[in-house]
Structure 1
Amino acid sequence: MLQARPSDSLATARRNWATSAPPDHSRSSQVSKASSNSGRACSKSEELDPMKSTPWITAKRSHWIVFLLAVAIRLWSVAESSHVDPAFAFPIVDEQTNVDQARGFLSDGPGHGAPYWKPPGYPALLALIALPWGEIGTAGHGVPTSYAWAVKILQCILDACSALMIVKIAAATAGRVAALLSGLLYAIAAMPVYFCSQFLDTTLFTFLMLLSVFLACSAFADRRVTPWIPVGMAIGLACITRATGLPVAAGLVLVAGLQQGTWKLRGMRAGVVAAACAMAMLPIFAVNLKLGHDAVLISSNGGINFYIGNRSGDGIGSDGLTSVATGPRWDQLLEKSDDLRLASERSRRYYNLALQEILAEPGRWLQKMGRKAAALVSARDVPNNKNLIEETHRNRVHWLLSWLPGASGPLMALVLAGLLIGKRGLRDDDLPLRVSLLLLTLTTWSFFVAGRFRVAILALGCVVAGRGLVTLGLRWRALLVMVPLLIGVHAIPVPARSLMDGYCIDPVALGYVHEKRGEPDLAAQWYQRSLDQDPGDVRALHNLAHLAQEAGNLPLALERFRSATTIAPDHAPSWNSLGALLVALDPPEALRCFREAVERDPEYVGAWINLGQFLESSGELHKAQDAYQRARRLEPARAMPPFLEARIQNKLRSPRSAQRLLRMVNPQLLEPGTRELYEQLSEEVRKQLEDVPAPPDAIPQQPEPLDDADPDRPEERGVVG
């Protein structure tokens, strides 16, 4: 069978050209004669590189074809999602974590959340994109639609650049034809296209990983030390985007040391990669150590993720495939390390717990590892944040791509076919690609195999798949390889079809999205689904009570709020919401509920505001002032607490203090009705200062600030009486 040998790399070609002998003009006529014989078989050079027979597909044209196709498909997908995805501008679960971290960076600087729970690379990018907007909403809520578009368009362009990186890697390691095929495969790959529409780190991490491998392949073809510097910087940036890049970074250090040369030169190359990688990660470690007061290298969620992927059990969050979202299951996990103060200690605790459970039942753990290995090569993608079956049926672009070779099943079969070819599928100097692909696969296998963690593996695999296509060719013998592999990956029953059809990591999050969109019936269905799965999910019961309250069914709302406080006595939002509902019905009980809320959670800003307003309406102005001061200290950027405190100062005949407090208020952050009250209060204070001049009076001593608390429900913003 005819096989195409990959073309030499750029550096090799230059070296061969420099050392070649002068051309022999005496043989030019023989060459012309041979080339003019069109009736014969292709020349040997054409056999070695079929691109010779299609000169119109130059390298530059290949790049433009792949890039424009990739951008067009991804932009089409995002446009479709903007119409059919209810969570397009309402991030949920991990997306919400990323967006809220970006909000923290905008308001508090790089030290927000230190030591970091998740790698800060992607949230930092979200924060940079948000600079023209200034602020992108309050924590736990949606983002401006224009901002969502900006993020997702940038991710489309970034992922198209990833396709270009694949073309360049394949051109250097497998030839120009394989390069074009590899780039086209990634351009139509379903999973990368899908993640361009999500607020997740998948697109950025994949790009940085491909950039690292491309730079490493170029440096490996060189003999100098300096080309390895950008390799270390790129893989370092990949590590602070997703910590699973750390083993790959170690692998590239090893690759640099294995390049031909003296031992001194090898050591210098390896040292340069390690130093450049460390320089990229050093600022993150410094922030964690200096501001977070904990020696966390990048993030502290590695331990709990390892525990989720290797602990005993077969359900969601314990099957080695899926993760756990906020709710009763997540709370049970956190309770295992509640006694530890430092994030690094908690992370180590989870690693130890995982090892203990592995050693206790090694047989069951081996079965789980087998299931995870099957998931890595399966045609089915393990769902993570959302139900991928629903997402595919909802979006026409995703549905169309699911029938093309870029779907996970055909693409994985092509990757496996390329790997089975062995050395014929890859060059001898492709060591950076092979090491990165191997280590990334092993790292994913060690934790849990969610679909988004397989995207970078498939991206690197596209190089292998493209070379496999060129080597196998369009011949009937290729069917003997491809058909069994295609059937095999589709026959793997992992993940189970029932899991894929009914999967939802957090029904409450989806219900809240529908509630914010003004779809209470759909929201109630998701909340009830969460209660069916976990009857103790107080979040779902609390939100169902709110829906009943908004529908005017106060008896049902009271019943559900009381049930929520009974099921979870420490759930402060339920006490606060119950108190807000009881203000007109049973004032003494309402006061008790507000006090319960701030006692259960002293950092709960909404409860302090409601407690202050209740005390103010009861004439206890000094106690109300204390509550407002506490709220203002907890969340200085919030507009309501200083406005309410200014109103108290005005009632206490302290107009200068009221004026200073009003200067802290951004009226644009107030509700329209409250904004009118703000203007009235400002006018009253101005008149008092004109009519009754008074010496400056100091604002009373305030308690020390605690950590900020995220706003939750509308009543927590305070209801101005």
Structure 2
Amino acid sequence: MSENNTNQSKVHGWAEWPGWPYVLVGLAVILRLAHIYNSRTNPTFWAPAVDPAWYDEAAFNILRGQWGPFPLFRAPLYPALLAGMYGIFGHDLAAARILNVAVQGAAIWALWRVGRSYFAPAVGILAAALLAINGTAIYFAGEILSTSTELLAAVLGLWATLRLTRDVRPTAVFLCGLSWGLAAITRPNFLVCFPVVLAAIWFVQYRQLSATSRRLPTLALSFLVWFVAAFVPILPVTAANAIKGGEFVLIATQGGVNFWIGNNPESTGILSVLPGYGNTWTMEDAEFEAEHEAGRMLRPGELSSFYFTKGWKFLSAHPGLSIRFMIRKSLLFFNRFEISNNKHILYFAAKSPWLPPLLWLNMGILVPLAALGIWVGRRTFSVQLLAGLILLFMISVILFFVTARFRMPVVPWLSLVAASGLWWAWQRIAVRARAREFLPLLLLVPGIALAHMNLWNLTEAPLGWARYMEGNAYLQLDRLDSARAAFLDAYHDGQALSRTQLNLGVIAYRQGNYSEARRWYEGALDADPTSVNAWNNLGTTAETEGDSTRAIECYERALSIRPTAPDPRHNLAGIHFRLGVAALRAGSDSTAIRHLTRCLSLLPTAITHYDLAIALGRTGEPERALAHLDSALALDPLLAPARQLREQLRGQ
């Protein structure tokens, strides 16, 4: 045997060991379970907020048989899987994370199989290892988000597509379509990848079928089978949206709002910014702004369409800015910087002290190696397919805004081409290749530049944001002293000043410190005079302190900012009702009429109509009194005093 063949044998021999998948999946599971174990002491583990709270609630509702509301706001596959986990283990937030570990373990095993089967055994091992120790993937295993399921969907979709190079029968095509359909109801961004998959089907079958007469019918059948299979998971969702929600929505309505918050005059490309509200907006804020501008109530699908239209108008009106904006987001997509969304990634990853360094193993390592892998494998179908999938998925993300979790589905694909590049380099070193054969390594330079450049001076989010999140969690868990300490840290760090002071006021109020609560609410209004919650809570505090006039002023101010806000509406109705009843008992009928009339304009109830009828009857207005008694009985036919009073008035 020649020296060269001996070296080749050494290069490949270790990769044939059958224990690799067990080692890789075992390592991945251990790392993820360790991080989850470390994270359990943080309050946010037990009190999910923002998107994790939405997924948790959606899964719990599914468990109770409530799949809606329709049309769906988000894709349903992950909430359904999470509901299944809750069905087995109960509403256990630790079990929700265990689901992520299992799903990521399956993704790593599948990635090993794909790499082994369609690249080389060593590539499968390296790709699976890169995903197993990927710090960002480990971090998201501890979050109640669809990210882990998206990783598995990305690998299965790729596997099913590559399998067509060896099996083009309709069953294989059907499985391919089904895998991508399931991916789409995990994250609708996968819909954008469909053209690449269809192009792959065309390429594979066109190459394998030599007779032109057979190509077109076979391709047509394959496309038909693929589309039918892809829409097997999608169409039930679309039908439920149409039948139960009354709107045609393919999968979910989230896209429109996300498109606008990523493409507006205040957008940064990395934060979800709603103009006028910054990045601390709520869905109620988005609904209010859209309905205020439209001049009517909007259904969920209409709301999504409204914001899609608004975003496209902005981009069309500023073509130069739009191009620069998309270039910026494209570069950020491949940057090593992990852009936080719901939570401060670096802060919460540090609950496992060993995890922050592993965050560098995401884009910081994958992008340079992937650039090498794509170049050296550019003539192979597998690499061409991966490059197309990565490109289209990137486009689907930059159309909105870039955050760490939105780009995670491309990580398994990048891991494969990165492993391919790494293996290519190792082979050249092992066989002592000539110097010129190492020239492709120069591609690592632009790859490193792309991954590590910081043209926009990106920095980690202030730690005050993380403490603000912890404060919210402590508040939800009713640990008021810990919540107060966390919010004070956020306040001194200058983060979310209005909301932070609002929550400090809530804590002071719940502890009976009304004067302190009032000061915090006033501070919140200094930071944001349009805070409906601050005006409402200031009114509640004034009412508790016995200042009804001030309370009414605050509630009215809140409603003037947002007429549809439920809390100030109910509170204002309540105080007018109580003042009206007190005036009625004191014999001040005109005052009672004024308060009860205002109460009815805010919140019509049978008892309010009845009390107002009493006051009107006393002031010699029996016809108006009878009208209100009719209204009272229409709302509550069993209200006997109203029926008796109506009979008395009619008998006069």
Q: In the alignment, does 2:306 pair up with 1:349?
A: yes
Structure 2 partner of 1:466: 419
Match of 1:676 in 2: none
> Given the alignment of the two structures, is residue 227 of structure 1 paired with residue 172 of structure 2, yes or no?
yes
Aligned to 1:294: 247
For residue 296 of structure 1, report the CA deviation from its aligned partner: 0.9
Question: 2:314 & 2:65 partners in 1: Cα distance?
Answer: 40
Q: For residues 201 and 341 of structure 2, what CA distance do their matches in structure 1 show? A: 35
For the Cα contact (< 8 Å) 1:115–1:292, is it kept in 2?
A: yes
Match of 1:254 among 195, 199, 206: 199
Is the Cα contact below 8 Å between 1:189 and 1:408 reproduced in 2? no
Structure 1 residue 149 corresponds to structure 2 residue 94: yes
Q: 1:541 to 1:503 in 2, by over 3 A?
A: closer
Give the letter for the 1:321 counterpart: I
* Conserved 8 A contact 1:195-1:203: yes
Identify the residue that residue 41 of structure 1 maps to in structure 2: 3
One of 56, 74, 77 as aligned partner of 2:32: 74
Aligned partner of residue 45 in structure 2, secondary structure: coil
1:256, distance to aligned residue in structure 2 (A): 2.3
Q: How is 1:270-289 mapped onto 2 (pairs within 5 angstroms)?
A: 270-289=223-242
| SS of structure 1 residue aligned to 2:130 | helix
One-letter amino acid of the counterpart of residue 181, structure 2: G
Alpha-carbon contact 2:134-2:362 (below 8 Å) kept? yes
- How far residue 226 of structure 1 moved from its aligned partner, in angstroms, is 0.8
Are residues 1:171 and 2:104 paired? Answer: no
Q: Matched residue of 2:43: which SS?
A: coil
- Is 2:72 the counterpart of 1:116? yes
The answer to whether residue 413 in structure 2 is matched with residue 452 in structure 1 is no
Q: How do residues 346-425 of structure 1 correspond to structure 2 at under 5 angstroms?
A: 346-402=303-359, 406-423=361-378
Deviation at 1:124, TM superposition (A): 2.4
Q: Deviations over 1:205-239 (max 9, x none)?
A: 11112111111211332131111212222211211
Which of 475, 483, 488 aligns to 1:525? It is 488
- Partner SS state of residue 67, structure 1: helix
CA contact (8 A) 1:594 1:607 kept: no
Using the size of structure 1 for normalisation, the TM-score is 0.69
Q: Deviations over 1:341-379 (max 9, x none)?
A: 133333233233223222333222222222212212222
CA distance in structure 2 between the partners assigned to 1:54 and 1:127 by the alignment: 42
- Which is richer in helix? 2
Instruction: Note closer, same or farther for the CA distance 1:587–1:384 as it changes in structure 2 (3 Å cut).
Output: closer
SS across alignment from 1:337: helix
CA positional deviation for 1:173: 2.1
Once the two structures are superposed, residues 675-709 of structure 1 have per-residue CA deviations (whole angstroms, 9 ceiling, x without a partner) of: xxxxxxxxxxxxxxxxxxxxxxxx987579xxxxx
Structure-2 separation of matches of 1:581 and 1:190: 49
| Secondary structure at the counterpart of residue 259 of structure 1 | helix
Superposed CA deviations along residues 247-281 of structure 1, whole A, max 9, x for unmatched, are 11343233223332321111111211211111101
Q: Letter of the aligned partner of 2:23 in structure 1?
A: I
**TM-fit CA distance, 1:93:** 2.0
Residue segments in structure 1 that go unaligned for 5+ positions in a row: 1-36, 137-146, 635-698, 705-721
Match of 1:144 in 2: none
- CA separation in 2, counterparts of 1:278 and 1:121? 14
Could you say if the C-alpha distance between residues 98 and 702 of structure 1 is closer, same or farther in structure 2, counting changes exceeding 3 Å? farther
- In structure 2, what is the Cα distance between the partners aligned to 1:356 and 1:325? 16
Could you tell me which of 395, 399, 407 is aligned with 1:442?
Answer: 395
1:703 & 1:233 partners in 2: Cα distance?
53
AA aligned to 1:452 is: R
2:322 alignment partner AA: W
Q: What's the CA shift string for 1:430-454, capped at 9, x where partnerless?
A: 6543432232122223221211122
Identity of aligned residues (%): 22
- Helix, strand or coil: the match of 1:241? coil
1:503-558 CA-to-partner distances (Å, cap 9, x unmatched) read 7779754431233344133333266369x5666x4x44432222233454322323
Structure 2 partner of 1:96: 53
Number of corresponding residues: 564
Letter aligned with residue 129 of structure 1:
M
* Residue number in structure 2 paired with 1:186: 131
Structure 2 counterpart of 1:545, which letter?
Answer: G
Cα 1:324–1:510, aligned 2, differ >3 Å: closer, same or farther? farther
Asked whether the 8 Å contact 2:465–2:490 carries over to 1, the reply is: no
Question: What pairs with 1:500-519 in structure 2 (closer than 5 Å)?
Answer: 500-502=460-462, 509-515=469-475, 516=477, 517-518=479-480, 519=482
Q: Secondary structure at the match of 1:378?
A: coil
Q: Deviations over 1:442-471 (max 9, x none)?
A: 222322121112222121111111111111
Could you tell me which of 213, 224, 237 is aligned with 2:182?
237
Is 1:496 the counterpart of 2:457? The answer is yes
Distance 1:207 1:609, change over 3 A: farther
Aligned residue for 1:450, secondary structure, equals coil
In the TM superposition, residue 122 of structure 1 has moved relative to its aligned partner by 2.0
What amino acid does structure 1 have at the position aligned with 2:370? V
Asked if the contact 2:490/2:496 (under 8 Å) is kept, the reply is: no
CA distance in structure 1 between the partners assigned to 2:416 and 2:43 by the alignment: 35
Q: Which amino acid aligns with 1:192?
A: A
Which residue matches 1:685? Answer: none
- CA deviation after TM superposition for structure 1 residue 180, in Å: 0.9
> CA offset at residue 307 of structure 1?
2.5
The one-letter code sitting in structure 2 at the alignment partner of 1:166 is: L
Distance, in Å, in 2 between the alignment partners of 1:575 and 1:601 is 13
Give distance in 2, aligned partners of 1:613 and 1:353: 40
Partner residue of 1:199? Answer: 144
TM-score, reference length from structure 2: 0.76
Distance in 2 between the 1:413 and 1:430 partners? 15
Counterpart Cα distance in 2 of 1:527 and 1:402: 25
| Contact kept? 1:296, 1:344, Cα under 8 Å | yes
CA contact (8 A) 1:579 1:589 kept: no
- Give, in whole Å, the separation in 2 of the partners of 1:273 and 1:703: 57
536, 540, 546: which one aligns with 1:575: 536
How far the C-alpha of 1:192 sits from its partner, in A, is: 0.8
Structure 2 counterpart SS, 1:295: coil
- Aligned partner of 1:557 in structure 2 is 517
What is the distance in 2 between the residues matched to 1:560 and 1:595? 20
Note if contact 1:571-1:600 (Cα within 8 Å) is conserved in structure 2.
no
SS in 1 for 2:258: helix
Please say if residues 232 and 249 of structure 1, whose CA atoms lie closer than 8 Å, have aligned partners that are also in contact.
Answer: no
1:483-510 Cα shifts (integer Å, max 9, x gaps): 6256424541056333x24277797544
CA distance in 1 between partners of 2:419 and 2:326 (Å): 29
* Structure 2: runs of 5+ lacking an equivalent: 210-214, 586-591, 604-631, 638-652
Cα distance in 2 for residues equivalent to 1:617 and 1:71: 64
